Chain A
Amino acid sequence: MNRFFFGIFPYLCLAVFVVGHIWRYRYDKFGWTTRSSQLYEDKLLRIGSPLFHFGMLGVVGGHILGLLIPQSWTDKIGLSRHAYHVLALAGGIPAGVAAVVGLIILVYRRRTTGPVFSATTVNDKVMYVVLGAVIVLGIWNTIAGSWLQFGGEYNYRDGVSPWFRSIFEMRPDVDLMAAAPWGFKIHAVLAFLLFAMWPFTRLVHVFSAPVGYLNRPYVVYRSRDARARGPQVRTPQGTWDKPGVKN
């Protein structure tokens, strides 16, 4: 059981995640969008969407810190475990709460605003349930494990984090995860399930985060025969340059 969920299932999900994205990008560039419903309803979205998205950015940042950076590294730079915990809670709780509150507002909006609800597909609904469960379990783990410390403190950086890294070393350490509390186990399994669903949902828009905008000339020129010669983005000299070059 543990062997399947923490030794095999992650690989299945990651494989689907990678291949699925390549497939979707190849076959469905037209469907690759945020599918925004702002046109239907603005006021709740104005509060809920930034709350949720910025909260999620914080949550993802926290996971990178907690899962990818080994405990020994933070020990080395002289960050005590207690200090790390305080830091993680100080960043994690607000981000998590923002994401949850945002999600509640967004789901409420989706359910109560007629046009938004009718634009919601089954695909969306399943994704929201899994996403919501992952987030709620994550918050619960933070509160129960690190803050209130039900059933003793669980240091996930001794258990979950090394296991997560061991997946990418192709030597999944199932025993580490088998010893983790139930909350962490379910959170991990559902998170991998979410990764597997990712390429087939609107979540793909995450990979379109337009960071390139910061370093692009304002006006894009393209030749009519772009397809023959491959995509080209060019600016006639003297008009808009990249930021910082001239304008």
Chain B
Amino acid sequence: MRVMAQLAMVMNLDKCIGCHTCSVTCKQAWTNRTGMEYVWFNNVETRPGLGYPRRWQDQAEWEGGWVRKANGRLTLAAGGRMKKLLNIFSNPKLPSIDDYYEPWTYDYETLLNSPQQQQFPVARPLSLISGKPMNVTWSANWDDDLGGAREYGPKDPMIKGIEDKVKFEFEQTFMFYLPRICEHCLNPACAASCPSGAIYKRSEDGIVLVDQERCRGWRMCISGCPYKKVYFNHKTGKAEKCTFCYPRVEVGIPTVCSETCVGRLRYIGLMLYDADAVLDAASVENDQDLFAAQRGVFLDPEDPAVQREAERAGIPGDWIEAARKSPVKRLIMDYQVALPLHPEYRTMPMVWYIPPLSPVVDVVKETGHDAESQANLFAAIDTLRIPVEYLANLFTAGDVAPVNEVLKKLAAMRSYMRDINLGRDGNADIPATVGMGEEEMYEMFRLLAIAKYADRYVIPTAHAEQAHALEELATDCAVSEYGGGQSAAFGEGSGRGGLTPVAVENLRVLKETQTADSLEELPGENPLRGRVNLLNWDGKGMPDGIFPGDKTGTPQ
């Protein structure tokens, strides 16, 4: 046994309202730069739908992820090392910009400079790639909320095998949202595809990162990732991907997408797993066994033997403690309501999902029956092929049994909690039908419905003794050592002063400011201590600390 820790996420799809706040805040934080206009580290897809990039799940086309060879060993779906190198001059499976979408802006100036005229001035869309006027015909979310579903819906790769069952007439169809980030897999195919060895998995927390100094722009990771969550910065010529907001989680605050999630549907926590068992679990013969095999790789942090081994592997005590309290562990292992996205890609993804019960509830409701009744919901789950089979295609390689099990737990929770909310006694028979106790079901309800910030995000901080090394590592670049201001001689971001690095310190300052009651209470070294919060200032007079201090730190 070799214990490793992994930061993981679970998303409760029933609570996603498709508002795209996570996507927008993530973009503002991470991909709001030239060369990354078309990139969304976090995106929210309407299912059924094509997704972003279009039809990314069609691995017959994209050849992402791993496949199991006849001899039981894993190989990259797009071919082994030699084949990758022979294709290095032109990656045959690289999605083109049209598969994502051509990013654009609007010619706002015509609105501002327009003379008085009879017609209202129009801001034409301009391509951010060529700079020329363009017709907008596709985007990362063109089929949002089933827009154009009659045309696009049938092209959803996940519809395969159930085409006759899925209706795309507006009144008859179903839908839910699927927010996606990088899966930070236990067996990452992007890292395995990288000829330069620039993509690595951090041994402390399992976050998968691209070393920007080692990336040489061979583009194999982009096609290697079956989730299409590695992107090519077309200005710098380097691969970039979701970083699990490592500068934030290192100081104990959740990722931007989680922090800003309106539905509070994301959970972040540690999972302990046995690194020795990963490859065997990823190599099991039957695709439908992969999900159970992956669950078998996780270790129980309550087990004293696991704790001992974890300690021996150098995992700090507070991390083991965090793994015990991990909401992600509870949802995946204790309640077993979370499922991985596309386990059949054999990458062992670590962002898991609680499948949505709402499409089932909607159907029951529409028939006029009681949609809170356990019997009605159970019957619907058993008889409805849609959406259960569709969900199974997403989360269990097509095996409907585990999906049914999860949906029944959610349905049971719904009926059980109705009694409690109406002031009646809880019916112990209801949790028993899904093999749960009353208390356990109530705890699950609390975690899924009303959990507080500190319960949803249990993130152990990186250790202070490592803080110096942590700062500005990984995705930033050595040019940060040389100041800025000079032109990029060899392309975007090259040469001195290329990119502005991410500073852990700024986030620490931010966190202190957010959690302190007043700026007076901040620790002495916080530069905002004693300053004035302009949002509270009424504009009268000149309070102390309204301007920054001189270099000695005393406020003017």
List the interface of chain A (C-beta within 8 A of B).
Answer: 24, 27-42, 45-46, 49-50, 52-54, 114-115, 118-119, 121, 123, 200-202, 205, 208, 210-214, 216, 218-228, 233-234, 236-240, 243, 247
Contacts and interface: CB of A to CB of B under 8 A. Distances in A.
Interface of B: 2, 4, 73-74, 76, 81-82, 84-85, 88-92, 94, 96-97, 129-132, 187-188, 191-192, 194-197, 199-205, 211-219, 232, 234-238, 275-279, 462, 466, 468-470, 473, 477-479, 482, 488-491, 493-496, 498-499
B203 A223 contact: yes
A210 B218 contact: yes
Contacts of A239: 187, 275-276, 278-279
A220 B191 contact: yes
A34 B218 contact: yes
7 contacts: A31-B236, A32-B213, A33-B238, A210-B197, A225-B469, A226-B469, A233-B200
Contacts of A40: 96-97, 129, 234
B215 A220 contact: no
Given A33-B491, A219-B192, 6 more contacts: A30-B479, A35-B217, A210-B197, A221-B201, A237-B2, A240-B279
B73 A247 contact: yes
Contacts of B196: 208, 210, 213
A34 B129 contact: no
Contact of A31 (B201, B275, B493): B493
A228 B469 contact: yes
Given A50-B89, A233-B197, A243-B81, A224 B462 contact: yes
7 closest Cβ pairs, A-B complex: A31-B494, A210-B195, A238-B276, A218-B192, A33-B237, A33-B217, A29-B213
Nearest to A236: B275
A224 B469 CA distance: 8
A211 B499 CA distance: 29
A127 B49 CA distance: 46
Given A27-B482, A118-B130, A210-B85, A223 B204 contact: yes
Contact of A28 (B74, B96, B495): B495
A34 B94 contact: no
Nearest to A221: B203
A202 B491 contact: yes
Which residue among A35, A46, A219, A220 has the maximum number of chain B CB atoms within 10 Å of its CB? A219
**Max chain B Cβ within 10 angstroms of own Cβ: one of A28, A40, A222:** A28
B239 to A, nearest CB: 10
A51 B547 CA distance: 63
A202 B493 CA distance: 14
A208 B215 CA distance: 10
Contact of A220 (B2, B89, B200, B234): B200
A212 B74 CA distance: 20
A157 B361 CA distance: 83
A247 B219 CA distance: 24
A39 B130 contact: no
Contacts of B191: 218-220
A104 to B, nearest CB: 16
A39 B232 contact: yes
Contacts of A228: 466, 468-469
A117 to B, nearest CB: 9
A238 B187 contact: no
Nearest to B278: A239
Contacts of A54: 89
Contacts of B498: 30-31
B513 to A, nearest CB: 26
B96 A42 contact: yes
Contacts of A36: 217-219, 232, 237
Contacts of B129: 40, 115
B204 A224 contact: yes
A53 B494 CA distance: 24
Contacts of A226: 469, 473
B238 A27 contact: no
A222 B234 contact: no
B90 A38 contact: yes
B495 to A, nearest CB: 5
A212 B275 contact: no
Contact of B276 (A38, A41, A205, A236): A236
A37 B217 CA distance: 10
A225 B466 contact: yes
Contact of A237 (B204, B276, B489, B495): B276
Given A30-B494, A247-B74, A222 B200 contact: yes
Nearest to A220: B200
A191 B129 CA distance: 35
A223 B132 contact: no
A114 B132 contact: yes
A38 B89 CA distance: 10
Contacts of B131: 118
Contact of B4 (A201, A202, A213, A236): A236
A227 B478 CA distance: 11
A59 B235 CA distance: 30
Given A208-B196, A219-B188, A227-B469, A34 B499 contact: no
A223 B463 CA distance: 13
Contacts of B473: 224, 226-227
A39 B94 contact: yes
Contacts of B85: 210-211, 213-214
B495 A46 contact: no
Contacts of B199: 220
B468 A123 contact: no
Contacts of A220: 191, 194, 197, 199-201
Given A29-B477, A49-B90, A238-B275, A224 B4 contact: no
A94 to B, nearest CB: 17
A229 B363 CA distance: 59
Contacts of B88: 210
A53 B88 CA distance: 10
A213 B198 CA distance: 11
A222 B202 contact: yes
